[in-house]
Chains A and B, each alone.
Chain A
Amino acid sequence: MGRNYFMILTVLSVTLLPILSLSFSTDSPTDRRLLVLLDDLSLKSSHSIFFNSLKSRGFDLDFKLADDPKLALQRYGQYLYDGLILFSPSIERFGGVVDLAAVLDFVDSGHDLIIAADSSSSDLIKSVATECGVDFDEDPSALVIDHKSYAVAETEGDHTLIAADDFIESDVLLGKKKIEAPVLFKGIAHSLNAANTLVLKVLSASPLAYSANPNSKLSSPPSLTGSSISLVSVVQARNNARIMITGSLDMFSNRFLRSSVQKAGSPRKYDKSGNEQFVTELSKWVFHVRGHLKAVNLRHNKAGEKDEPAMYRIKDDLVFSVEIYEWSGKSWEPYVANDVQVQLYMMSPYVLKTLSNDKKGLYHTSFKVPDVYGVFQFKVEYHRLGYTSLSLSKQIPVRPFRHNEYERFITAAFPYYGASFTMMAGFFLFSFVYLYHK
């Protein structure tokens, strides 16, 4: 998205600069073009509700078979899509020029990804997930089984259809409206790689769940058990690319979206499962409709001056400001929070101040440069759950006093001034007396 819009922006900016500077609407972070890779095209109808909801929200969906020989993510160095939905769990090799590295490059250049696996998942899909910090169960026949919080059905099954309601508590990820009904899940388990600090569990299994083959007797304890099993996970990469990983492709299906649900042991029966709300809200997050912040106009200047200096002096008073906006899906709205901080940083923070905001997106503070010279940085490191991380830094050297910035006369030194002047006068008098007194 970036390049195209940027080009338009450049063209427009010549004529529309005053208008543009007032609104940011042309600079939208939301994805537009999505590529959906399918195992077979019947998924298009079996998951039509999810796809239609995406379409109705303005996304351009491009359905392709995962082994389409003309498959390509980029052409002439430009990416053709902003997001990728991998609904092709059993694909062993992508068609065309796409492979594992191409998918990862796609993410590493700032694009978003949804991966849905299921019991028939291929090594390829699993390795994409592994590269994103999530490990699916090694056992190909294992499913998540929960004998406690399964979804009640007419026939007593093998308890692989799970009614999960252990959501992450985040309005940004799952929307403001609480998801009441449990989410139906039938698929494979995955766990988070402990080395990865960016991956999050959005929907976890209950403590009594485990991952095993439902059709055979357990010969050894299951490798994944309890709430370490994640049903749906998300990753927000360092470049703010977002990835959603789930072990159940059925979760998005029309059948699950329309189905009623009753969690075992719970008296309440919901007419409609929480799936639709869950996948809709989460897809909004993944495709940057929600939770996208931007910081602009990082400014600093000496107190009482307007221009940004190239260098500060120690003990200068300075004013620092930055504007932070949140994308609402249609426009940039002021972001209001009271926990944005700025650091004046040189190997460690010398100043750490919370910024106050004017509710219109402008965050500002003023402070004194410490009595230390060196090459400092203004740093705003703002990492909040669900939001894109803001990590701004601006280098600014701080110099010591110039030779003429010290005080000219110091009160404490008056005895010395007195001494030298009396000395001079005394010497003069002495010479005079000695030379001319007979």
Chain B
Amino acid sequence: MAVTKTEPINSSSNKPSSSSVSMKSDLMSALSLKSLKLKTKQQELLIRVSILCLVYVLAFITRLFSVLRYESMIHEFDPYFNYRTTLFLTEKGFYEFWNWFDSESWYPLGRIIGGTLYPGLMVTAAIMYWGLRFLRFAVHIREVCVLTAPFFASNTTLVAYFFGKEIWDTGAGLVAAVLIAICPGYISRSVAGSYDNEGVAIFALLLTFYLFVKAVNTGSLAWGLGSALGYFYMVSAWGGYVFIINLIPLYVLVLLITGRYSMRLYVAYNSMYVLGMLLAMQIRFVGFQHVQSGEHMAAMGVFFLMQGFYFLGWVKHLLGDKKKFEALLRIIVTCAVGVGAIALGVGTASGYISPWTGRFYSLLDPTYAKDHIPIIASVSEHQPTAWSSFMFDFHILLFLFPAGLYFCFKRLSDATIFIVMYGLTSMYFAGVMVRLILVATPAVCLISAIAVSATIKNLTTLLRTKSKVSQTGSTKGASGGKGSSKALPDQSQPFQRNGAIALLFGAFYLLSRYAIHCTWVTSEAYSSPSIVLAARGAHGNRVIFDDYREAYYWLRQNTPADAKVMSWWDYGYQITAMGNRTVIVDNNTWNNTHIATVGRAMSSYEDEAYEIMRSLDVNYVLVVFGGVTGYSSDDINKFLWMVRIGGGVFPVIKEPDYLVNGEYRVDKGAAPKMLNCLMYKLSYYRFGELVTEYGKPPGYDRARGVEIGNKDIKLEHLEEAFTTSNWIVRIYKVKPPNNRW
């Protein structure tokens, strides 16, 4: 009864919150601006739409550098898995995909692909593919996959526009759309060919947030449902959905504490949480985690808290007496906290609620992974972010971000609180892990857009209303934008107009530098497919190293169809996708022991490694070696991680055995175990005969700049099968056991 009684009152905002006031006044000011020239309204719409269209196209084409430079190909490691699964999905249909048990990876354990991936990306690409086919566009699925990320980046700009419009105004929305369209932090994960979950997930993330903010602002069930659907899409696309399911409850909690609780919030959060949770459970990989995993408990706790809050409000209304109510409140709060704590304790102790995962811990404590989980720490994109990469990825946004925060605080509303919280938390996470810069990028763009838009708006207002100084002052005071007032302390100063022009030019200069920087970064740094390497030759010409594909095609053509290839896990996805051969471990690092076994084999002596390889039925061993070309991310440089990961499970492998005085070296002074372990032997086999650089002794390793320590390498149980033209990939065949022994 109480629900229905309060709802209509609340939705028509019975208590005028400050946000609605500011919004209303904002609207008023906007209207008054427009009412100066009524005709411009249509012009403005035209301009806005055409800007959006241009931004939409821009976001797409700026990501095509990689296709122009190289070719339409899938990049890096994980995208190859996504491509392979998408191919499977389009060929075999959804149910086969859903139930796919892949016997070609993680030999001999296999992997239930249907149950261990986020299908959103593949399904999206497949639907686009089928759609295009239906429209009689004879595209190849690879082209669709290559262009999925740019396409979704374009869509993200639209969402950014609406989001900016929702939290500030149309101008901020437009600026946000432009900023996000070319922001390097986002481009790094969404260039053409980077067919990875993040490509669609950022779109889904921003869409969910936008719809949720919209739901909070309107209190409409429909928008809440929309955000639940957005959340569902996000869950289906990327593991980063955990960020949403923790940020939104945190936001709700902050609103509760700051006394901004409203019926709109109640409707928005509950509809989003309940529906979103039920929908998310339909994703096999996520399953019951929403009710069982520690990472999702915050959302559930806040859900119950809201019900309690609402219930108390009702009881208070019924009782009327303040004293009685306080006594009741005390009892109820004590009981609720007690019950909650017991439930959590029992759930955790009985194993029903799983503890936080390592990745989650390492987010809260950046040093956690380094000490406990080498397999997470070994991934380069899980490293803490360097300052330079913030500068590289955000450029001027890094300075505009605090300014935007200032504006947000000046005009606090439910929406700006949200964007502030999103910005601050994601900036923290971006500092913990390099790859999470991506999550922070939309927030940084939006907040910066507020700064840019508000500043420019103030400046132009100043310029336009030079004659009516007094009127402008009052309007400005209401809108709360005072970015320019620092530079112009007094409205009546004679050169304020010139100052405004100068500042506008300054802003224009900064933004154009931003555009130049973004384009440069995109073309130089983020458009390399990393599977084809490019270098500058001695005469400044471009040299292309296509060794990876050479090696994978060799595997495909020259080895038996059921051959098992052992390599470090980085190359697993590529070997299965391009080489079409079974691998022992791959980039889906779900089984630490299996990876550790491979790490152990790589760091053991050859005869010990042979036993391990025999037990895993390994036929070929693939190593990546950069000593000839100077390619530094090769297996020798990754080797210490193999030792650490192997040693984490098998204590016979000890890291100090491979180091000399804590130093990692491969020259004559290297540790004897290092010089004779399998990885060293396979990398440097016959390398001692080769002169790599003029004026250097034979066996000079260009990646590490030393002459290798063991030039006389003999292999007993393996034989060289194939080495690519630049020696980047070397493949060895495991010999059968000796015939007569």
Question: Measuring CB to CB, which residues of chain A are less than 8 angstroms from any residue of chain B?
Answer: 104, 107-108, 131-133, 195-198, 235, 237-239, 241, 243, 311, 346-347, 373-376, 395, 397-400, 402-403, 434
Contact = CB atoms under 8 A, between A and B. Distances in A.
B741 A346 contact: no
B101 A235 contact: no
A399 B104 CA distance: 12
11 contacts: A131-B740, A195-B741, A197-B741, A198-B741, A238-B736, A238-B740, A241-B739, A243-B740, A373-B110, A374-B110, A399-B101
Nearest to B564: A375
Contacts of A198: 740-741
Contacts of A375: 103, 107-110, 582
A397 B739 contact: no
Given A107-B740, A108-B739, A395 B562 contact: yes
A270 B234 CA distance: 93
User: Which of A132, A198, A402, A434 is packed against the most chain B CB atoms within 10 Å?
Assistant: A402
B112 interface: yes
Interface string B534-564: 0000000000000000000000000000100
A189 to B, nearest CB: 21
User: Which of A132, A241, A243, A373 is packed against the most chain B CB atoms within 10 Å?
Assistant: A373
Interface of B: 4, 95, 98-99, 101, 103, 107-110, 112, 562, 582, 615-616, 736-741
9 tightest Cβ-Cβ pairs between the two chains A and B: A399-B101, A397-B103, A375-B108, A402-B99, A108-B739, A237-B739, A374-B110, A346-B108, A375-B103
B101 A238 contact: no
Nearest to B738: A238
Contacts of B98: 403
A245 to B, nearest CB: 12
A346 B103 CA distance: 12
Given A374-B110, A376-B108, A107 B101 contact: no
Nearest to A197: B741
Nearest to B615: A347
Contacts of B616: 347
User: Which of A132, A196, A237, A395 is packed against the most chain B CB atoms within 10 Å?
Assistant: A395
B741 A133 contact: yes
Nearest to A241: B739
Nearest to B114: A403
A132 B110 contact: no
Contacts of B737: 238
Contacts of A239: 739
Given A373-B110, A395-B562, A397-B110, A133 B101 contact: no
A102 B721 CA distance: 23
Contacts of A104: 740
A237 B95 CA distance: 49
B740 A196 contact: yes
B124 to A, nearest CB: 21
A404 to B, nearest CB: 8
B108 A238 contact: no
A374 B109 contact: yes
Contact of A400 (B4, B95, B112): B112
B108 A196 contact: no
User: Which of B107, B112, B737, B739 is packed against the most chain A CB atoms within 10 Å?
Assistant: B739
Given A373-B112, A375-B107, A375-B110, A403 B99 contact: yes
Nearest to B562: A395
Contact of B740 (A235, A346, A374, A403): A235
Given A374-B109, A400-B112, A237 B103 contact: no
User: Which of B4, B615, B741 is packed against the most chain A CB atoms within 10 Å?
Assistant: B741
A345 B583 CA distance: 18
Contacts of B736: 238
A374 B98 CA distance: 17
Contacts of A402: 95, 99
A107 B740 CA distance: 9
B310 to A, nearest CB: 18
Contacts of B738: 238
Contacts of B4: 434
B739 A311 contact: no
B101 A311 contact: yes
A275 to B, nearest CB: 27
A347 B740 contact: no
B601 to A, nearest CB: 14
Contacts of A376: 108
Contact of A311 (B95, B103, B109): B103
Given A374-B108, A374-B110, A375-B107, A196 B741 contact: yes
User: Which of B101, B582, B737 is packed against the most chain A CB atoms within 10 Å?
Assistant: B101
Contacts of A197: 741
Contacts of B562: 395
Nearest to A108: B739
Contacts of A243: 740
A381 B615 CA distance: 15
A51 B392 CA distance: 87
A237 B101 CA distance: 39
A347 B95 CA distance: 30
B739 A107 contact: yes
Given A107-B739, A107-B740, A131-B740, A400 B108 contact: no
Contacts of B101: 311, 373, 397, 399-400
A328 B615 CA distance: 36
User: Which of A107, A235, A397 is packed against the most chain B CB atoms within 10 Å?
Assistant: A397
B740 A237 contact: yes
A398 B108 CA distance: 10
A400 B116 CA distance: 13
Contacts of B615: 347
A352 to B, nearest CB: 17
B165 to A, nearest CB: 36
Contacts of A235: 740
User: Which of B109, B562, B736 is packed against the most chain A CB atoms within 10 Å?
Assistant: B109
A24 B71 CA distance: 57
B468 to A, nearest CB: 56
B11 to A, nearest CB: 18
Contacts of A347: 108, 615-616
B231 to A, nearest CB: 23
Contacts of B741: 133, 195-198
A132 B108 contact: no
B740 A133 contact: yes
A100 to B, nearest CB: 13
A311 B99 CA distance: 13
Given A373-B112, A374-B108, A400-B112, A108 B740 contact: yes
A205 to B, nearest CB: 24
Contacts of A108: 739-740
B593 to A, nearest CB: 11
Nearest to A396: B103
A371 to B, nearest CB: 14
Contacts of A397: 101, 103, 110
Contacts of A400: 101, 112
B563 to A, nearest CB: 11
A402 B98 CA distance: 8
User: Which of B108, B562, B740 is packed against the most chain A CB atoms within 10 Å?
Assistant: B740
Contacts of B95: 402-403
Contacts of B108: 346-347, 374-376
A219 to B, nearest CB: 35
A314 to B, nearest CB: 10
A308 B108 CA distance: 21
Given A238-B737, A238-B739, 4 more contacts: A107-B739, A346-B109, A398-B110, A402-B99
A57 B101 CA distance: 56
Contacts of B582: 375
A246 to B, nearest CB: 17
Nearest to A240: B739
Nearest to B597: A347
A355 to B, nearest CB: 23
Nearest to B736: A238
A133 to B, nearest CB: 6
